[in-house]
Structure 1
Amino acid sequence: MTDLILHHYPESPFSEKVRLILGHKQLAWRSVHVPAIQPKPDVVALTGGYRRTPFLQVGADIYCDTALVCDVLEHVQPEPALYPPHIRGVARIFAQWADTTLFWAAMSYNIQPKSAAAMFPDAAVAQAFMNDRKAMRANMTQLRPADATSAYRSYLRRIAHMADEHDFLFGAEPCVADFAAYHPLWYTRHRASSMAGILQPTPSLLEWMDRMAALGHGRAEKLSPGDAITVAQNAEPMPPGQNLLVDSAFQDDHGIPLGSEVTIAAESFGPEATVGELVAATRTHYSLRRTDPRAGTVHVHFPRIGYVLRKADPA
């Protein structure tokens, strides 16, 4: 296996989720910083359109969405486990809730006029960020700040009840649920610090956050975006069934055969589609083969849950 290359930026909450998992598994990785907003030409050269942050590159294979990245890292380093057998199902379901419902309540609370000024002192930068995220939310309904505050406060109390019982949410060791719940709270505490008072009524939650932060980020080495593209160009994508995703059997729920030209896009946040040849459609993921003038031939992988597969429109 070639190097794990994480494309991320420091303030990205979902990136913090993956950085902590890399630390928990004590993995070495290459760090590529990407822009927080468009344009992202180096990102698109690898993903074909997908621009959510982060994504993981291994040679000429590109793994999109942190849910899928978690599966890859579990395959690379099974211990300590993200999905302990006795809680595998509930941990995955909780993580999906945390990455969606909890995350959007937290972010709608975090980014309000009184906090945005501190996070983005430059008004032009603030406006560019807000416009970029508005475009990415084209298919979403966003909570109003008051509604988000109420929901977030309730969610924090419920998670704190879990932290009252154990060092981590489901026991003595962290699992995927901990990492998914942590990153939006991390954003509140460290990025939107003027809003962090909402965490104070739940001291057990703050203690849990300290234990999570102590896991660290593993062993990172900087890599430039151009060098990451060169890595892809000089590599061959791994054949379906031999890559870092565990399942390979074709599961056809769409009537779209392998070899078809298709598009894959997120259901909601980040509507940009990736176009390519469908080379895998398994129980858990899709894989597309595409060729870019700079990156060469790559395979771009997406989880099934949260993504929409369609036949590409005829040229």
Structure 2
Amino acid sequence: MTTLILHHYPSSPFSEKIRAVLGYKQLAWKSVVIPAIMPKPDVIALTGGYRKTPFMQVGADIYCDSALICDMLEHVRAEPTLYPPHLKGVSRIFAQWADTTLFWAAMAYNLQPKGAAQVFAKAPPEAAKAFAEDRKAMTGGMTRLRPADATSAYRSYLRRIAHMVEEHDFLFGAEPCIADFAAYHSLWYTRVQTPVMADILAATPAVSEWMDRMAAIGHGAMEKFSAADAITIAHGAEPMPAGQNLLIDSAFQDDHGIALGSEVTVAAETFGPEATQGTLMAATRTHFTLRREDPRAGLVHVHFPRVGYVMRKVEAAA
């Protein structure tokens, strides 16, 4: 049985997405709680630079980004499926919208002063400032919605989701799919992490009922685990051969003119632009795999999705 180690923290919305997927597939997993902001030395030892939350570890293989983690978990346990054959295209497109457009509108709404005050109510005053500075560094040149515009957009999106779940128990039918998990986590943050902002949900009771059904899925069988033990596991393991890891596709797809074996960097297009550098071991239609070595974690393979990430060749010094 594959040992799944999720590196996350409780209030992370994208972590809630993966925790819910683990519950849907009734998988056992080990929980490593990581810091919400930098510095993250244990994270960087495994990822080489990627610092977004969550990421999944299987031995010496590190899977970055919640979209890629979902693909990997589908391969670990195919049923119940996240990608029903008749919804394979539309559910992925909806999920990508939910993980980006819906997420940013929801978070701009949630973290208005009243919501932010609730999030940091039990933390020292400097914690809110440190969090704001950390996220500012991650967003770089991104254009963020102003609170009033975010509120308008979020209300509209909630009405549209309501229209879908008034007809079915879940967004596209009687069972949840990837679209449900991608849409749920932003709304979960509103209801669970910033309940002072949750009155926006009152106008769409069908959405709240759908959220109750999603919450009832649970999180699977979780066991607490330490970052030190996770790094020890990585150091003692061998990465799975490129093309034989827990991602389904393996054929080389050369869209960059960069040969396998080249030294490259991979980084997110927008949010969390910190790059990971390594040797390109795979570039398939869905993902990149980099081979890198760390003094603590040893030899690891770090996997990224193609969509939402950019790869660049590292030019040799003159």
TM-score norm. by structure 1 comes to 0.99
Assess if the C-alpha contact under 8 Å between 2:291 and 2:300 holds in 1. Answer: yes
Q: How does 1:39-78 map to 2 (within 5 A)?
A: 39-78=39-78
Alignment of 1:132 onto 2:134 = yes
Give the CA deviation at 1:2. Answer: 3.5
Taking the aligned partners of 2:163 and 2:14, their CA distance within structure 1 comes to 24
Q: How does 1:269-280 map to 2 (within 5 A)?
A: 269-280=271-282
Q: What is the RMSD computed on CA atoms of the aligned residues? A: 0.7
Unaligned runs of 5+ residues in structure 2 are: none
1:209 aligned partner, one-letter code: M
Give the CA deviation at 1:309. Answer: 0.3
Give the CA deviation at 1:314. Answer: 2.5
Aligned counterpart in structure 2 of residue 216 of structure 1, from 212, 218, 236: 218
Q: How does 1:63-212 map to 2 (within 5 A)?
A: 63-121=63-121, 122-212=124-214
Q: Deviations over 1:66-89 (max 9, x none)?
A: 000000000000000000001110
1:61 aligned partner, one-letter code: D
Give the CA deviation at 1:116. Answer: 1.1
Helix, strand or coil: the match of 2:166?
A: helix
1:187 aligned partner, one-letter code: Y
1:292 paired residue number: 294
Assess if the C-alpha contact under 8 Å between 1:139 and 1:269 holds in 2. Answer: no
- Count of aligned residue pairs for this structure pair: 315
Give the CA deviation at 1:195. Answer: 0.5
Taking the aligned partners of 2:251 and 2:128, their CA distance within structure 1 comes to 46
2:227 paired residue number: 225
Give the CA deviation at 1:312. Answer: 1.4
Helix, strand or coil: the match of 1:97?
A: helix
Taking the aligned partners of 2:97 and 2:165, their CA distance within structure 1 comes to 17
Helix, strand or coil: the match of 2:203?
A: coil
Taking the aligned partners of 2:282 and 2:141, their CA distance within structure 1 comes to 26
Give the CA deviation at 1:64. Answer: 0.2
Assess if the C-alpha contact under 8 Å between 1:8 and 1:33 holds in 2. Answer: yes
Give the CA deviation at 1:313. Answer: 3.6
Assess if the C-alpha contact under 8 Å between 1:22 and 1:217 holds in 2. Answer: yes
Q: Deviations over 1:132-188 (max 9, x none)?
A: 001000031101111100000000000010010000000000000000000000000
Q: Deviations over 1:12-43 (max 9, x none)?
A: 00000000000000000000000000000000
Please list every run of at least 4 consecutive aligned residues from structure 1 whose deviation after the TM superposition is greater than 3 angstroms. Answer: none
Unaligned runs of 5+ residues in structure 1 are: none
Helix, strand or coil: the match of 1:200?
A: helix
Taking the aligned partners of 1:249 and 1:174, their CA distance within structure 2 comes to 30
Assess if the C-alpha contact under 8 Å between 2:165 and 2:207 holds in 1. Answer: yes
Identity value in percent: 75
Give the CA deviation at 1:114. Answer: 1.6
Give the CA deviation at 1:194. Answer: 0.7
Assess if the C-alpha contact under 8 Å between 1:251 and 1:281 holds in 2. Answer: yes
Assess if the C-alpha contact under 8 Å between 2:24 and 2:218 holds in 1. Answer: yes
TM-score norm. by structure 2 comes to 0.98
2:260 aligned partner, one-letter code: L
1:54 aligned partner, one-letter code: P
2:85 aligned partner, one-letter code: P
